[in-house]
Amino acid sequence: MLIKGNSKLGEQIYHFSLPAHEACPGETTACASVCYAKNGFYNMNNVKQSLRNSMTRSRQADFAEKMIEAIGRRKIDVLRIHVSGDFYNAEYVRKWVAIVTRYPNVKFYAYTRSWRIAEILEALRELAMLTNIELWWSADKVTDELGEIPPVVDRVRVAYMQMADDEPVPAYTNLVFRVNYKQTVIRHIDRKVVCPVETGVKYAEGARPTCSSCKLCYRAQAVRQQVVDDPVSVDRSMFQSVT
């Protein structure tokens, strides 16, 4: 059920994923149109089958128990919930509440558009109360155009997916993910931090940052260090709810 690392996560982070679209009740036409989990590596038959297997397991009554066992066996420090897929119903979210509660010394993090679904949002509020998980509401131009402002929840921040460099970034944004990051170099947008992996900066072989080395999304100390290193251009409101 658990996979260690990938080219963006780096070697220190495990992840658990589900099939894109099938497990994405809050998806928008924008995120669906550029979803990396529908292309390339994810089109391989063995990968598709693995994700389908994970979906089946996630629906089983003993999923939380099995995941707790798997995390303990691998002695995991950081786990990203869903490189692909999302929280698809409230019952599934509450299974993760049980898992995250069981391992207070493991850091969990996840990005989700399922805040758009009322019954799932209520369960996500429960998950967000746990201090060893960092939840990020995912938003994009469609949610913004529809006037769907991500709800304010303590310790939860907002990651905005920017489709083009000239696309305005809403004021409520804390972190920007760029779809076309390889075309231009941008480190901050309207005083919002751009994901360091997606600034467009060209790095020497082996020097490109990964989530394992950056840690901004799941380690409070790393976030505070970025404020120290770049106190002028970083939007400090991003860090108010970090514990």
Question: Is residue 234 predicted with pLDDT exceeding 70?
Answer: no
* 88 vs 231: which has the higher pLDDT: 88
Domain assignments of the chain as residue spans, ordered by start: 3-239
Q: Is the separation of the CB atoms in 66 and 98 below 8 Å?
A: no
- Angle of helix 45-58 relative to helix 63-74, nearest 10 degrees, comes to 120
pLDDT (tens digit per residue) in 98-109: 999 999 999 999
Residues near 15 by beta carbon (within 8 Å), at least 6 away in sequence: 2, 3, 6, 9, 79, 80, 81, 82, 83
pLDDT (tens digit per residue) in 118-157: 999 999 999 999 999 999 999 999 999 999 999 999 989 9
Radius of gyration, alpha carbons of the chain:
17
- Angle of helix 90-102 relative to helix 118-128, nearest 10 degrees, comes to 10
Q: What predicted TM-score, i.e. pTM, was given to this entire model? A: 0.87
- Tokens for 115? 């805040």
pLDDT (tens digit per residue) in 25-83: 999 999 999 987 777 767 788 888 999 999 999 999 999 999 999 999 998 999 999 99
* 173 vs 5: which has the higher pLDDT: 173
Question: Is residue 191 predicted with pLDDT exceeding 80?
Answer: yes
